């Protein structure tokens, strides 16, 4: 056996554990997660603010989705990386190497890996209160569903910065315009002018129908390998040069701000890691479930001052042949949103553009692209910088 040892990838510095019990009475998953997390943090001699990464299991009884954001919100932390690990009995072990990978990639420094579950005696759904803040503070007052939450973002922006309906409608107009060059887009053959957007039905004031994604069926996939292996493949490789992630809340009522978002950190982190500037991007492939999302993303990216996205958009062109190509496949507002694959469509389009395979809408000499993803209500966001071989 060789005496050489590999350089350690990570170290466990704190542990916490609850005594097993046959049944729980009135306990919640979130409460148990908080208890065991507190023990681990105390054992490590840390303050909870030091936790900037979060790995959780899929079984959190208070929420069927947005699990990392729900747990982070409940614990009062704002991690730069969050994930669900779902490997059955291997989940705990799987968390450790994923934490190491995230730390070594520079996404975060201190990761909380936590699992907990309740077990009611009658095996029925827990009778205990639902401590998910969105169920306590949002839903009872009518803030139920994405349309309402994203309408609040737009409404606040208009109130704080005097942004106009026409400015937001520009975003939907460009999405539809770019979709006319993508035969796969759900709105191919159906452009929409700014006036068309403003004349579409008001769904949740101040959001119009054409400012909201259309849910559709579909799918997407991509394959990742090492940089070394990629060079031996037949297709031109597209490299991940930088990444940033941030989770600040789950329920819109708990958002630190409605006019700036965790994208401000995530985009800056991705650009810094790639050692590039936002002005160097050849493509903006920005998550666009609602026009209000694109508006604040442009501002948080540093492309324009807060509240000035509308003025900035009027000064630029966003087609493949424009000075700021934006969602050249039509974005989700023009392409459609096949559930989670809608967000992945932004990665797929960036790869096409950087491989120079976007027939009919190819950005000349595209080398660098910014891709963003968004979960819940601008609650859990990711930013990526992708680059072609030539960069």
135 CB-contact burial (10 Å; exposed 0-12 / middle 13-18 / buried 19+): middle
Q: Is the pLDDT of residue 204 over 70?
A: yes
Kindly provide the residue ranges of all beta strands, DSSP E only, lying in 182-302, ordered along the sequence: 202-204, 207-208, 238-247, 283-285
Structure tokens given for 77: 């932390």
Comparing CA positions, the residue from 358, 383, 345, 69 lying closest to residue 213 is 345
SS3 label, residue 230 = helix
- 71 with 44: CB under 8 angstroms? no
Thinking of the domain 29-131, which architecture would CATH place it in? 3-Layer(aba) Sandwich (3.40)
d(CA 139, CA 136): 7
Q: Is the pLDDT of residue 158 over 60?
A: yes
- 43 CB neighbour count, 10 Å cutoff: 13
d(CA 24, CA 33): 14
- 256 with 120: CB under 8 angstroms? no
SS3 label, residue 374 = strand
* φ and ψ at residue 123, rounded to 5 degrees: 60, 15
Instruction: Please give the share of the chain, as a percent, with pLDDT higher than 90.
Output: 56
d(CA 104, CA 99): 9
Write down the pLDDT at residue 27. 87
d(CA 242, CA 106): 9
SS3 label, residue 89 = helix
Over its C-alpha atoms, the chain yields an Rg (Å, rounded) of 22
Q: Which CA distances in Å does 201 have to 80, 186, 197, 212?
A: 38, 19, 9, 11
Domain coordinates of the chain in residue numbers? 29-131, 146-388
The stretch 6-29 carries a mean pLDDT of 78
d(CA 120, CA 154): 42
d(CA 13, CA 366): 44
CATH (residue range 146-388): 3.40.47.10
Max mean pLDDT among 62-76, 82-96, 161-175 falls in 161-175
- 98 with 85: CB under 8 angstroms? yes
Q: Is the pLDDT of residue 349 over 70?
A: yes
Which helix H or strand E contains 385, and what residues bound it? strand 380-388
d(CA 379, CA 251): 8
- 87 CB neighbour count, 10 Å cutoff: 13
Cα 300–Cα 240–Cα 80 angle in degrees, nearest 5: 50
pLDDT band of 126, cuts 50, 70, 90: very low
Q: Residue length, the chain?
A: 391
pLDDT tens for 246-268 read: 889 888 888 889 889 999 999 99
pLDDT band of 26, cuts 50, 70, 90: confident
SS3 label, residue 384 = strand
- 238 with 367: CB under 8 angstroms? no
Domains 29-131 and 146-388 share a fold: yes
141 CB-contact burial (10 Å; exposed 0-12 / middle 13-18 / buried 19+): exposed
Max mean pLDDT among 68-82, 138-152, 306-320 falls in 306-320
Structure tokens given for 47: 């303050």
Task: Concatenate the DSSP letters of all residues of 75-88 into one string.
Answer: HT---SEEEE---G
- 28 with 129: CB under 8 angstroms? yes
- Higher-confidence residue of 342 and 334: namely 334
């Amino acid at each position: 056996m060789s005496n050489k040892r590999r350089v350690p990838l990570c170290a466990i510095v704190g542990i916490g554990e609850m005594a097993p019990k046959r049944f729980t009475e009135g306990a919640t998953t979130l409460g148990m997660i908080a208890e065991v997390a507190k023990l681990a943090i105390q054992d490590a001699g840390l303050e909870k603010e030091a936790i900037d990464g979060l790995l959780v299991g899929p079984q959190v009884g208070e929420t069927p989705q947005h699990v990392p954001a729900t747990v982070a919100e409940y614990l009062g932390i704002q991690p730069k990386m969050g994930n669900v690990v779902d490997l059955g009995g291997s989940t705990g072990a799987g968390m450790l190497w994923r934490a190491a990978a995230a730390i070594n990639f520079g996404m975060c420094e201190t990761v909380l890996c936590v699992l907990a579950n309740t077990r009611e005696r009658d095996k029925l759904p827990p009778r205990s209160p639902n401590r998910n803040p969105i169920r306590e503070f949002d839903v009872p007052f009518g803030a139920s569903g994405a349309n309402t939450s994203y309408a609040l973002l737009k409404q606040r922006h208009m109130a704080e910065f005097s942004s106009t309906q026409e400015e937001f409608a520009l975003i939907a107009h460009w999405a539809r315009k770019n979709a006319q060059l993508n035969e796969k887009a759900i709105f191919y053959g159906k452009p929409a002018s700014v006036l068309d957007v403003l004349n579409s039905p008001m769904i949740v004031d101040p959001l119009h129908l054409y400012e909201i994604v259309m849910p559709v069926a579909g799918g997407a996939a991509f394959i990742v390998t090492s940089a070394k292996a990629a060079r031996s493949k037949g297709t031109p490789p597209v490299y991940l040069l930088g990444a940033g992630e941030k989770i600040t809340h789950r329920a819109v009522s708990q958002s630190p701000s409605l006019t700036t978002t965790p994208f401000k950190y995530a985009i800056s982190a991705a650009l810094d890691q790639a050692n590039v500037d936002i002005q160097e991007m050849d493509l903006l492939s920005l998550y666009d479930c609602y026009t209000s999302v694109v508006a604040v993303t442009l501002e948080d990216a540093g492309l324009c001052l807060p509240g000035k996205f509308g003025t900035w958009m009027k000064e630029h062109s966003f087609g493949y042949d424009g000075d700021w190509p934006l969602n050249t496949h039509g974005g989700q507002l023009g392409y459609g949103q096949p559930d989670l694959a809608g967000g992945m469509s932004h990665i797929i389009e960036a790869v096409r553009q950087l491989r120079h395979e976007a027939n009919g809408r190819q950005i000349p000499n595209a080398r660098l692209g910014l891709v963003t993803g968004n979960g819940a209500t601008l609650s859990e966001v990711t930013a990526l910088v992708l680059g072609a071989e030539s960069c």
